[in-house]
Amino acid sequence: MDIKQSKNRFGIIGNDLKLNQAINVALQVAATDISVLINGESGTGKETIPQIIHHNSKRKHNNYIAVNCGAIPEGTVDSELFGHEKGSFTGANESRKGYFEAADNGTIFLDEIAELPLASQARLLRVLENGEFIKVGSSKAQKTNVRILAATNENMLELVKKGKFREDLYYRLNTISIQLPPLRDRGEDILLLFNKFASDFAEKYNTDPIKLDNEAVEAINNYQWPGNIRQLKNFVAQLSIIEKRREIDGNSLKLHLPENSSNVPILYKDESKEDLSEREILYKVLFDMKNDLTELKKITHNLILESPSNSISNTDLEIFKEIEDKQENLIAKENTIEIHESLSLIEQEKRLIIKALNKHKDRRKDAAKELGISERTLYRKLKEFEL
91: CATH: 3.40.50.300
| Span 167-176, pLDDT tens digits | 999 999 999 9
Q: How confident is the model at residue 387 (pLDDT cuts 50, 70, 90)?
A: confident
Structural domain includes residue 272: no
Question: What is the CA 296 to chain-centroid distance, rounded?
Answer: 28
Structural domain includes residue 263: no
The predicted pLDDT at position 264 comes to 36
Cα atoms in the Cβ-side hemisphere of radius 13 Å centred on 194: 25
The conformation of residue 88, written as its DSSP 8-state character, comes to S
Q: How confident is the model at residue 89 (pLDDT cuts 50, 70, 90)?
A: confident
Residues 246, 195: Cα–Cα separation, whole Å: 12
Residues 100, 81: Cα–Cα separation, whole Å: 6
Looking at 181, 211, 232, which one is the last position of a domain?
181
The predicted pLDDT at position 48 comes to 95
Q: Output the average pLDDT for the chain.
A: 81
The predicted pLDDT at position 207 comes to 86
- Interval 350-366 mean pLDDT: 81
Quick one: what percent of the chain has pLDDT higher than 90? 49
Looking at 163, 181, 199, which one is the last position of a domain?
181
User: Could you tell me the residue range of the domain that residue 13 belongs to?
Assistant: 3-181
Name the residue among 152, 222, 221, 220 with its Cα closest to residue 180. Answer: 152
- Contacts of 163-168 with C-beta under 8 Å, sequence gap 24+, read 164/114, 164/118, 165/114, 165/118, 165/121, 166/118, 166/121, 166/122, 166/125, 168/125
Query: For 16-25, 138-147, 289-298, which range has the lowest pLDDT when averaged over its residues?
Result: 289-298
The predicted pLDDT at position 290 comes to 54
Are 191 and 239 members of one domain? Answer: yes
Query: For 161-175, 230-244, 359-373, which range has the lowest pLDDT when averaged over its residues?
Result: 359-373
Are 52 and 163 members of one domain? Answer: yes
Strand partners, 143: 132
Give the type of residue at 323: I
Structural domain includes residue 268: no
Q: How confident is the model at residue 292 (pLDDT cuts 50, 70, 90)?
A: low
Are 237 and 317 members of one domain? Answer: no
Residues 377, 345: Cα–Cα separation, whole Å: 17
Are 39 and 171 members of one domain? Answer: yes
Task: Write down the pTM of the prediction.
Answer: 0.67
Parallel/antiparallel/unpaired status of strands 247-248 and 64-68:
unpaired
Looking at 158, 181, 204, which one is the last position of a domain?
181
73: Cβ–Cβ under 8 A, 6 or more apart, which residues? 376, 379, 380, 383
Are 76 and 147 members of one domain? Answer: yes
The predicted pLDDT at position 269 comes to 39
189: Cβ–Cβ under 8 A, 6 or more apart, which residues? 13, 14, 15, 16, 19, 183
The predicted pLDDT at position 4 comes to 92
Are 77 and 143 members of one domain? Answer: yes
The predicted pLDDT at position 373 comes to 79
Are 47 and 194 members of one domain? Answer: no
- Interval 132-150 mean pLDDT: 91
Are 112 and 247 members of one domain? Answer: no
pLDDT higher at 123 or 331: 123
Structural domain includes residue 154: yes
Structural domain includes residue 48: yes
Structural domain includes residue 264: no
Structural domain includes residue 273: no
What are the two backbone dihedrals, phi and then psi, of residue 178, each rounded to the nearest 5 degrees? -120, 125
Beta-sheet strand order (sheet of 107-111): 64-68, 107-111, 147-152, 36-39, 176-179
Assess contact for 136 and 88: CB atoms under 8 A: yes
Structural domain includes residue 270: no
Residues 137, 122: Cα–Cα separation, whole Å: 17
Name the residue among 52, 143, 151 with its Cα closest to residue 105. Answer: 143
Are 45 and 131 members of one domain? Answer: yes
Q: How confident is the model at residue 338 (pLDDT cuts 50, 70, 90)?
A: very low
Are 242 and 285 members of one domain? Answer: no
Are 144 and 15 members of one domain? Answer: yes
| Span 36-62, pLDDT tens digits | 999 999 999 999 999 999 999 999 999
The predicted pLDDT at position 265 comes to 39
What sections of the chain are H helices per DSSP?
Answer: 3-10, 17-29, 48-55, 77-82, 99-102, 118-130, 156-161, 167-173, 189-205, 214-222, 228-242, 250-256, 278-305, 314-336, 345-359, 364-371, 375-384
Are 12 and 146 members of one domain? Answer: yes
Domains: count for the chain:
3
CATH code, domain carrying 244: 1.10.8.60
